Amino acid sequence: MIYHILHFFLKLLSYTPFCMLYALSDGLFYPLYYLVRYRRKIVRQNLTESFPDKSLTEIKLIEKRFYHFFIDMTLESCKLASISPQKIKQRMQFTNTEAVNAMLRQGKSISIYIGHYGNWEWVSSMPLWLEKSATGIQIYHKLRNKSMERLMMHIRERMGGTCVEMHKTARCITELANRHEVCIIGFIADQSPKKQESRNFLPFLHHKTPVLTGTEKITKHYGFEAFYLDVKRKKRGYYEAEFIPLHENPQSLPDFELTTLYFQHLEQTILLQPELYLWTHNRFKHAEKLDTNNC
């Protein structure tokens, strides 16, 4: 019952024209930022620690731009419930697909490193740009609320991808390999590990940051190719995502090097448009601030 109610309102919102959605977004900024103050403390702390060379005025400017974008992205994501493949391809474009498709045609499976940057929900439209013979997989964390879980699965799989829970990744890949199926798997790899799992650290945005290495282990174990998805926001409601190869032979790299390359790319992406990163996430809760003089 709850699912059907949520689905009805999601559909209703998804049919709203973009111009009206953005008018709604503009109207929601003031109450969210000034009245509700949604996660303002975490956002301010994350920005201040990540950009120690910026003044308070500059930090506040990024902060406000982030909240404007955060609302935009949330409403844009609702459009996935009804938007056509043709329309989403106009608004979420992928480049260097030739390199990716060439590898898929050669029977090579691929790991795609993604960050909580730009509209990562729209990245679920990736299969529209790739070889139809390849199986598109999205790795995700299961939500506690069953109705929300079902709803998110619906919108994330509309464009041809399949959602797989993180703990089922290895089994899924093994089953695909046994059927000799080529796959391309998207990993949002900048998640914060649990404290007891914080064994690997990298310098990231002026923090000694604990990172997960599961994507690297899977990539090397199964002999996958590895790409980073570099997302840019061209203008409101329009994005471009470029497939960038992380290394020509990921299996030859020392342990932890592939993860290091990913976070280096992600940091450079964030520095170009910092307001597009998910600053409400307590990414650095188990991290340590680095001495600015040593960065």
Tens digit of pLDDT per residue, the chain (295 long)? 777 787 888 898 999 999 999 999 999 999 999 999 999 999 999 999 999 999 999 999 999 999 999 999 999 999 999 999 999 999 999 999 999 999 999 999 999 999 999 999 999 999 999 999 999 999 998 888 888 889 899 999 999 999 999 899 999 999 998 999 999 999 999 998 887 776 899 999 999 999 999 999 999 999 999 999 999 999 999 999 999 999 999 999 999 999 999 999 999 999 999 999 999 999 898 888 887 655 5
pLDDT at 148: 87
Three-state secondary-structure class, residue 227: strand
Is residue 82 within 8 Å of 14, Cβ to Cβ?
yes
Q: What H or E segment, with its residue span, contains residue 240?
A: strand 238-245
How far is CA 24 from its chain centroid?
24
Which of 43, 47, 42, 50 lies closest to 203 in space, CA to CA? 50
d(Cα 69, Cα 232) in Å, to the nearest integer?
A: 13
Q: Are 231 and 239 in contact (CB under 8 A)?
A: yes
pLDDT at 293: 57
The reported pLDDT for the residue numbered 193 is 86
Contact between 82 and 17 under an 8 Å Cβ cutoff? The reply is: no
Q: Which residues, including other chains, have CB under 8 Å from residue 73's CB and lie 6 or more apart?
A: 118, 119, 121
H helices of 128-279, where? 146-156, 169-178, 214-221, 257-272
pLDDT at 143: 84
Q: Determine whether 1 is exposed, middle or buried from the number of CB atoms within 10 Å of its CB (0-12, 13-18, 19+).
A: exposed
pTM attached to this predicted model:
0.94
Q: Which residues contact 160 (CB under 8 A, 6 or more apart)?
A: 127, 128, 136
Q: Tokens representing 203?
A: 């310098």
Token pair in block for residue 247: 């290394």
Report the distance separating Cα 206 and Cα 200, nearest Å. Answer: 16
Of 181, 132, 144, 187, give the one whose Cα is nearest residue 163. 187
Whether residue 215 contacts residue 259, with contact meaning beta carbons closer than 8 Å, is answered with yes
pLDDT of residue 198: 67
In whole angstroms, give the CA distance from residue 145 to residue 148.
5
> 156: closest CA among 192, 119, 130?
119
Residue with tokens 């609302």: 71
